[in-house]
Each structure stands twice: as C-alpha cells, then as structure tokens.
Amino acid sequence: MIANSLPFYMFMKLSKFFPVVVLLVSLARLSAATPVEKKPFGKLADGRPVTLYTLTGPRGLVVEIMDYGASIVSLRTPDRTGKIADVALGFSKVTDYTAKPAFLGAVVGRVANRIADARFTLDGKKYVLAANNSPGGVPCALHGGNVGFDKVLWSAEPCEIAGLQAVRLHYLSKDGEEGYPGNLKVQVVYSMTPDNGLRIDYEATTDATTPVNLSNHAYFNLRGEGNGTILDHELTFQASRYTPVNQGLIPTGEISPVAGTPFDFTTPHRIGERINATHEQLSFGGGYDHNFALDRKGLGLELAATVYEPMSGRVLEVRTTEPGLQFYSGNFLDGGLVGKSGKPYVYRSAIVLETQHYPDSINQPKFPSIVLRPGETYQSSTVFRFSTR
C-alpha cells in the first residue's frame, strides 16, 4: 500500500495536498483481513496430514475448521458477561474423529439424513447403497454411507469474503462412490460474517443425474461443550408442520401440523418440557429426531430456528435457504465420546440443527426434489449467528 511504500515524511506531504490518499489507505487497511491461521491437526492412518484452519470474526466469534470431513472442530463465542466458551462438540485430534466417528461438526453427503431401505430408483434405474444404519431394526442409508463426505480429506485453501476470513474446501465424489451415480464436484465455503455469524455456502455440479442433499452436522451446547444437558435450551422454529416417521425414523410421506403436539415450537419451549411426553413419534427416536418443514416466504436466507440458553444468555439464530430443518436432541449420546475439554458427551448433551431437504426425498415424490442433473448447479446456504440476551 502507499503508506508502506513511501517514506513517512513524503506520505504526510502527499496527504496534505491529496486527502483522498489518506481515505483510500484507511479503507484498504480496514478491508484487509488478517490471514487465516493454519496448523497441523495430526495425520490419517495412511500418513496424509490434516490441517486446522482458525477463522476469527470481528465481534469475538472464533471458529476452527479441519479439512478432514470439512468439519467444524470448535466454535468459541462470549456469553452475556463476555466469558468465552466453546459451544460446539468436537475432539482435540483427528485420530479421535477416525476412531469414533459420530459426524461431529462434519459436512454430510452425498445425501444427508436417511434413505429408506438404502435404495432408490432414478430415471428408471435402481441404485443400492450401503445400509449403514438400522434404527428400530429397520435398515437405511445414513449421511452418505460407510465413507461419506464426513470421512474424506478435502482440499482446502484460506480465502477472504467481503474482507473477512474464510476457508474454501473442495471434494470430487467419483462416479459410483458409495453407490451414487455421477462425478460430483463439491465446494463448501465457511466464512465469517460482520454480525458474529458463521456462514456456510455449498455448491455442487455433476456429469450424471444424481441425488444431492448436503448439510452440516454440528452439535451445539450453548452452555459450552461437555457442560450438562441441553434440556433447558429454549427453541423456536419457523415451522408449522413436520414430517412424521416410522419406527425406522424414515418419513411416512405425510407433512403434518405441529399444533397440539410436542413438536410445536412455533413459540418458545424448553427442549425438556415435552421430550418425555407419551407420544409415538418421540418413542421411535428416544426423543426428537425429526424434520421440520419450514414456513418459507421466498428463495433466499430466512430465519429457521432460534435457540436461547438462559444460564449463559447465548442465542443461536439459524438462517437458511433450505426447506427443512432436522432437529436431533442428542438421544444417542451415551458418555462414550470424550471431548476437547476432557468431559464426556452424555445423554442429550447437545442439539443438532441440520438445514437440508427432507429425509428420504429421493423416494418421496411429494417432498422437495434433491435430484441434480448435468448442467445444473446445486446451491445452498446456512448462517449460524450468535448473540446474547
């Protein structure tokens, strides 16, 4: 910049006669983001190194992203008193992620959520996937298969979006990978926002018709990871309908009103307020593990959910371009995972809010389509914004 390349006395003379020079230099300094921090995060079993990228926002939010699984490893944000806590579940080294895979903070795909009976028909051709999940004894394909996007090493590069820190990740899912057709080129960009948010932009193209439904599987506890349950978190969803499931947690095809049920979060409710209610839908997953059909008004980013934790005062707002929001209340956490702080992740100690198309959409003609064809571009965006009350 001019101020760095000219002697100081000459710069001051120029600025006396050309005030615009001072203005341009000041704007340039304000817009220049501090370089993204990179550091090693261990190695995979085959020796490939894994890298951790630290993004720092202008209002205190600090997020760590690793290239294995394109995963959110930590997310640090202040409470109402200014005290910082990491509110995202995760591990301190990559070998913990590979030893005990649980989708912590990862990008999941090629198709997030469940596909009934691990199979689908597309343009008259039948495809069989890995049946890697069987809730209630009913087999299905979950989150992309045995080696989904959460278990691969992405290529990554730090970048800058609107003067703020970001990291761009790429992955080529080859034709036939996990049973899916077509070579799928995927890009995910994590970027900081001016209002204390983390934005995730997904993009994909294919050379053959294929289903695509990408999401991030971050586990949140707004009191801090490993710090008790999430039963006192208050939820508000912009969703007057949800998709009921069968005992295998596969949608039945119905889109039902939430009114008069434990799924009505159109006004704020504590998670623990009705989670143990006698209701068939809650019994299937041992709590909430359901997709909510969002009350959307258009195609852009819209508010989907608000989470408030009264002890810390932290608030999480979720905005998305997606039609659905999968709410999972940590029903399968059992203390077997020990996180970054050395604390076990116990039963119902985190929530997951997956912005996505509805589960099993590829087999449900009434649901929004997840089919991507050559020449089309899949695009999706979600923002996790943090504040306090």
The per-residue pLDDT for range 210-224, each reduced to its tens digit, is 999 999 999 999 999
Whether 354 is catalytic is yes
Q: Report residue 71's pLDDT band, with 50, 70 and 90 as the boundaries.
A: very high
In the chain, the amino acid numbered 351 is I
* Within a domain: 314: yes
Condensed to tens digits (0 to 9), the pLDDT of residues 122-174 reads 999 999 999 999 999 999 999 999 999 999 999 999 999 999 999 999 999 99
Round the average pLDDT of the chain to a whole number and report it.
Answer: 92
pLDDT at 34: 82
C-alpha 257: how far from chain center: 26
Q: Are 216 and 186 in contact (CB under 8 A)?
A: no
Decide: helix, strand or coil at residue 205. strand
The C-alpha angle 357, 57, 344, rounded to 5 degrees, equals: 65
Cα(216)–Cα(65) distance, integer angstroms:
12
Per-residue pLDDT at 15 exceeds 60: no
How far apart, in Å, do the first and last CA atoms of the chain sit?
41
Kindly name the residue from 217, 269, 290, 357 that is annotated as catalytic.
217
pLDDT at 311: 97
* Within a domain: 4: no
Give pTM, 2 decimals.
0.91
* Within a domain: 32: no
* Within a domain: 336: yes
Whether 217 is catalytic is yes
* Within a domain: 3: no
* Within a domain: 31: no
The CATH number for 321's domain is 2.70.98.10
- Indicate the Cα dihedral angle 154, 185, 197, 345, nearest 10°: -50
Range of the domain at 110: 38-388
* Within a domain: 15: no
* Within a domain: 5: no
Question: What total of structural domains would you count in the chain?
Answer: 1
